[in-house]
Amino acid sequence: MDIQDIKNRFGIIGGSPLLNRAIDIARQVAPTDMSVLITGESGSGKEVFSHIIHQMSTRKHGAFIAVNCGAIPEGTIDSELFGHEKGSFTGAHEARKGYFEVANGGTIFLDEVAELPLGTQARLLRILESGEYLRVGSSKVQKTDVRIIAATNVDVYNRVKSGKFREDLYYRLNTVPLRIPALHERKEDIYLLFRKFSADFSDKYRSPGIQLEPDAIQMLSNYSWPGNVRQLKNIAEQICVLEKERNVTAAALLNYIPNESATNLPMAINGSTKEDYTERDILYKVLFDMKKDMMELKKLVAEIIQSGGNTSHVIADNTHYINQLYQEVDQTVNEPTFTIKKPVQNAPLDYNYTQEAEEVEESLSLIDKESDLIKKALKKHKGKRKFAAQELGISERTLYRKIKELNLN
């Protein structure tokens, strides 16, 4: 079966060389029993490739079980995967088979494998090495013949270095690495995918077809798509249901695509999410803004000194900045460390500033700064928390938590 046949069978759309390479690797490794570690961003289609490998293997008539390791509580994941005996823990009223026993002769897909607890990782390693495991509460060794396909959207090797993932398990799972390209790496496929999704949803909802204007197509291609194919599919569905004008322009498309320029917080590093760096990112933003204002103030003061106290032409050259600075101080600082007389609109710029700088101790509380930024974002977006969270560069769930912690309701 060639690559195009695989695409047709599994509903894969696109001609990107990176996508074709991933399909080719899956096709070659499928007939073997080698473990595969699928990596790629969330929403890029990792589970589809696990189905390709299973369906093209000798185990295709056996069971295929997909397990989201991140969705199972740590206290019950061993029971879910390996089973348990009656009375082995509170609530274990009868013996239960685990996924590895049920999938004997088939394939198990472990999604978000990097979220497994260390104890469970040791049990999984034993299965990979010998096919043996123990039910929870039992001393009898069980055997299983299961192929393991794992997937993750984080850098597992970084978790190995931080001690959160076993190195020996990493190398056993990573026998064949399979990387799924992100959607922004497949720009030539974005419009093809949108056309397919919009056509499917138009049929589903019995609505007229969607046509994109050239500027809208260009916008689709230039967007970074952090949610990948899943995000593109959701936006296509929204447009099919909500958009009254069936010829969609770039201006109309902006109502559905988040504004990427809405946040300028530092990016997460080493595979960490924005949520891991919430407080630090907000502090960085405050410090960067303060530094920018201080540099501009130094420049303004230096020009006044060099002019020998004659401030008229300096004020004329910096009227825009003085107005902007006055508004920022008035809006964001409760007890400013300096005061600038607000210029009068349309008045001649020949007056002198007689009010001297007044030094007042400013609150340096991170909680106050964080609270103030959240209030500003909510006010700017008229209480819409989704857009306020995007403005702050944090998840909507984190924003809800912060609002509750800081009593901002």
Region of 103 please: left (phi>0), alpha (psi -120 to 50) or beta. alpha
Which residues, including other chains, have CB under 8 Å from residue 295's CB and lie 6 or more apart? none
Q: Which amino acid is at 126?
A: R
CA distance 228 to 180: 11
Q: Which two tokens stand for residue 203?
A: 């049929």
Range list for CATH 1.10.10 in the chain:
365-405
Global model pTM greater than 0.75: no
Do the Cβ atoms of 278 and 406 come closer than 8 Å? no
CATH architecture of the domain with range 365-405: Orthogonal Bundle (1.10)
Tens-digit pLDDT string for the chain (409 aa):
899 999 999 999 999 999 999 999 999 999 999 999 999 999 999 999 999 999 999 999 999 999 999 999 988 999 999 999 988 888 888 989 999 999 999 999 999 999 999 999 999 999 999 999 999 998 999 999 999 999 999 999 999 999 999 999 999 999 999 999 999 999 999 999 999 999 999 999 999 999 999 999 999 999 999 999 999 999 999 999 999 888 999 999 999 988 765 444 444 444 444 444 455 556 656 666 776 677 777 777 777 776 665 655 555 555 655 565 555 555 544 444 444 444 444 444 444 444 444 444 555 566 777 788 888 888 888 888 888 888 888 887 888 778 877 777 6
Instruction: Find, among 121, 120, 226, the residue nearest to 183 by Cα.
Output: 226
CA distance 88 to 308: 86
CB atoms within 10 A of CB 343: 17
Q: Which amino acid is at 275?
A: E
The pLDDT, as a whole number, for residue 283 is 64
Backbone angles phi, psi at 222, to 5 degrees: -85, -15
Nearest-5° Cα angle at 248, 242 to 254: 75
Buried b (16+ CB within 10 A) or exposed e, 298-326: eebeeebeeeeeebeebbeebeeebeebb
Do the Cβ atoms of 83 and 97 come closer than 8 Å? yes
Range list for CATH 3.40.50.300 in the chain:
3-181
The pLDDT, as a whole number, for residue 275 is 43
Which helix (H) or strand (E) segment holds residue 382: the answer is none
The pLDDT, as a whole number, for residue 363 is 54
Range list for CATH 1.10.8.60 in the chain:
184-257
The pLDDT, as a whole number, for residue 93 is 85
- Assign domain 3-181 to its CATH superfamily: P-loop containing nucleotide triphosphate hydrolases (3.40.50.300)
Q: What is the DSSP string of 85-151?
A: -TTSSTT--S-B--HHHHTTTSEEEEETGGGS-HHHHHHHHHHHHHSEEE-BT--SEEE---EEEEE
Whole-Å CA distances, 215 to 194, 197, 219: 15, 19, 6
Instruction: Find, among 92, 168, 154, 71, the residue nearest to 126 by Cα.
Output: 168
CA distance 145 to 135: 16
What is the end-to-end Cα distance of the chain in Å, rounded?
59
Tell me the sheet residues that pair with 60. Answer: none
CATH of domain 184-257: 1.10.8.60
Backbone angles phi, psi at 290, to 5 degrees: -65, -40
